[in-house]
Amino acid sequence: MAPWSGLWGGKAGGDAYRGTPVVVKMENPNWSISEISSPEDDDEDILAAGGRRKGGRSKNAKQIRWVLLLKAHRAAGCLASLASAAVALGGAARRRVAAGRTDAEAGVVAATGESPVVRSRFYAFIKAFLVVSLLLLAVEVAAYLNGWDLADSALALPVIGLEALYASWLRFRAAYVAPGIQFLTDACVVLFLIQSADRLIQCLGCFYIHLKRIKPKPKSPALPDAEDPDAGYYPMVLVQIPMCNEKEVYQQSIAAVCNLDWPKSNFLVQVLDDSDDPLTQTLIREEVAKWQQQGARIVYRHRVLRDGYKAGNLKSAMSCSYVKDYEFVAIFDADFQPNPDFLKRTVPHFKDNDELGLVQARWSFVNRDENLLTRLQYINLCFHFEVEQQVNGVFLNFFGFNGTAGVWRIKALEDSGGWMERTTVEDMDIAVRAHLHGWKFIFLNDVECQCELPESYEAYRKQQHRWHSGPMQLFRLCLPDIIKCKIAFWKKANLIFLFFLLRKLILPFYSFTLFCIILPMTMFVPEAELPDWVVCYIPALMSLLNILPSPKSFPFIIPYLLFENTMSVTKFNAMISGLFQLGSAYEWVVTKKSGRSSEGDLISLAPPKELKHQKTGSAPNLDTVAKEQLASKKDAKKKHNRIYKKELALSMLLLTAAARSLLSKQGIHFYFLLFQGISFLLVGLDLIGEQVE
């Protein structure tokens, strides 16, 4: 754009409006200003410097005014965007509330497995705190408006009427309420520091592993013979695919397993179908038959008595007479697709290592960028595999089995008592019992198995409830065995205090209690203090450590911190259910799958014959899959996002506390409470994750 002339650029042949012409570049939203010196300026500069140019020139007021105007314009644009986003959020919230479908409906209670009595008690507990906070806010607002500043003189000055009641409340609060809240605050802060120290030590361990390039290696490399490829180390492997009503993903998982690069005579695939839907059973049975026609060694099993959920399914499969011919068993859930070289990269670790019972691979995710919910899950799981599993595997030779993408020595399973249906975390159960019997584990961080993350908050919430109630059930059942077993004392201490108490019980307890209950209460009872470093600095540091294994997720560090605190209500509820053996602790809800890696992966995994003759193999079903996906999308339109009452109640509690903090000018507490309250509001209205139209 050419420089302006006239009023702003100066009149030709005169000095009435001298100034520095500017060029305003508007190709992008980032305004930039470049100065252009006039010949007269150059002459003046040269004369003033004795033939040399000045090092700089003074800016005139009009140029500065332009800069300020442009910056103001940009700021106005940002405010307009924020206002637009707020209006859109308000509209979405209004529509969600108008739908009126809450998680308290009978169908949802049955689906989540939560006891209505427990649900109502926990919700009543949260509502009681909300009612108390609203009453206290009303009192504080009245005191603020009437100027009742009695904090320093309540014990000395005689007052009457409402002012006397307020003074009595201050005396009662300081003498009886504050000490109890302060004691609970101090206890939670201590637990918080212990858990933070544990996480920091784990991160240092991970840093040491990367620094020293520590990587599990087979004791005896199993290289195949160049003349006879089948002469290498290829033991008999049983591959199991447990599934239940998962018609979205059965084709891709079966195709991936049947394409494993392993001698066909040395591995057998068991499709363990626990579906109660006749149509799904028929589809899976037909898929197995198609692969059998292509020469794959694969069998279909369906239980008549479906007891024990996944553990019962695996236990039933291991009772087959032909299992005695196999040395190892690889397990893949229905949505997992191993790479063809999976067995070649895991099974060789067992060679000449008779103490090794389990080789676990990490997960990778096909839909990690699908929405904000999947991105936040990805951060958590990256830390779990990169730090927790890897560090425990290298330094302790023990970690919790992830239930899938792992290879077990069948002798280790049998020696540990086999699969048991006593908890909903059968994978952790068998891992703990194998550890007590002296078996060692290896975690391979560089071997990945593809899967998908829950895309809706409802599915993720159910999954987290099972993952946090099961360990508490297991702790109650395993504690006597841990105490009586003959393993080293430090291994017992690690199991009891670190593996179970610190990471499974203390973490959800203090997260919910400290940030959802104590922090709001300290706003109304200022005599009980919660330091700024507990509210902001250490949580920010822990979130930064959590996000280090996935550095590309750094822009989501604040949403991650807020969302983790928001999930504490679900995790705390699940932990209490498992610890006290409540009804919801024994329910298993299959996590809903979407089948993200479907058509393209099916084509790449289909045998060559099927690609040439698309009427006889698995590839012809691609049209069927497309139709099924279209039908599922139509069914999805009949579903609705839910309203979660506990999260909404906590949102109101936190926002109420934020209003009280604003009155007392408590600084950083206000911002934390405000944003945490908004986070609870978004989750309570189910505005995070998959949105059903």
Nearest in space to 24 (alpha carbons), one of 54, 65, 67, 56: 67
On whether both 146 and 207 belong to a single domain, the answer is yes
Q: What is the pLDDT of residues 189-233, one digit of tens each?
A: 999 999 999 999 999 999 999 999 999 999 877 656 545 555 678
221 in any annotated domain: no
Under the banding of pLDDT at 50, 70 and 90, the label for residue 600 is very low
**Residues noted as catalytic:** 274, 427
CA torsion angle 299 303 307 308 (round to 10):
0
Of 5-19, 244-258, 265-279, 418-432, give the lowest mean pLDDT range. 5-19
Q: What is the pLDDT of residues 460-493, one digit of tens each?
A: 999 999 999 999 999 999 999 999 999 999 999 9
Where among 457, 478, 510 does a domain terminate? Answer: 457
On whether both 185 and 308 belong to a single domain, the answer is no
pLDDT, averaged across the chain: 82
On whether both 204 and 281 belong to a single domain, the answer is no
On whether both 468 and 446 belong to a single domain, the answer is no
What's residue 288's pLDDT? Answer: 95
On whether both 375 and 470 belong to a single domain, the answer is no
Q: What is the pLDDT of residues 129-152, one digit of tens each?
A: 999 999 999 988 888 888 776 554
Under the banding of pLDDT at 50, 70 and 90, the label for residue 613 is very low
On whether both 256 and 286 belong to a single domain, the answer is yes
Q: What is the pLDDT of residues 36-61, one digit of tens each?
A: 444 444 444 444 444 444 444 455 66
617: pLDDT strictly greater than 60: no
Query: Is the pTM value of this prediction over 0.95?
Result: no
Q: What is the pLDDT of residues 530-542, one digit of tens each?
A: 888 998 888 999 9
* Tally of domains within the chain: 2
573 in any annotated domain: yes
On whether both 551 and 490 belong to a single domain, the answer is yes
Nearest in space to 160 (alpha carbons), one of 150, 151, 152: 150
Where among 416, 435, 457 does a domain terminate? Answer: 457
On whether both 278 and 374 belong to a single domain, the answer is yes
Domain that holds residue 146: 116-214+458-597+641-692
Q: What is the pLDDT of residues 79-95, one digit of tens each?
A: 777 777 777 777 777 77
Handedness of CA 102, 106, 109, 111 (dihedral sign): negative
On whether both 392 and 533 belong to a single domain, the answer is no
Greater confidence (102 vs 278) lies with: 278
On whether both 467 and 582 belong to a single domain, the answer is yes
Nearest in space to 601 (alpha carbons), one of 279, 442, 378, 367: 367
Greater confidence (584 vs 568) lies with: 568
Handedness of CA 215, 446, 362, 560 (dihedral sign): positive
Do the Cβ atoms of 261 and 351 come closer than 8 Å?
no
Where among 409, 426, 457 does a domain terminate? Answer: 457
On whether both 528 and 402 belong to a single domain, the answer is no
Residue environment code for 396-434, b if the CB has 16+ CB neighbours within 10 A, otherwise e? bbbbbbbbbbbbbbbebbeebeebbbebbbbbbbbbbbb
Both structure tokens of 220: 């005896």
270 in any annotated domain: yes
On whether both 463 and 453 belong to a single domain, the answer is no
What's residue 693's pLDDT? Answer: 63
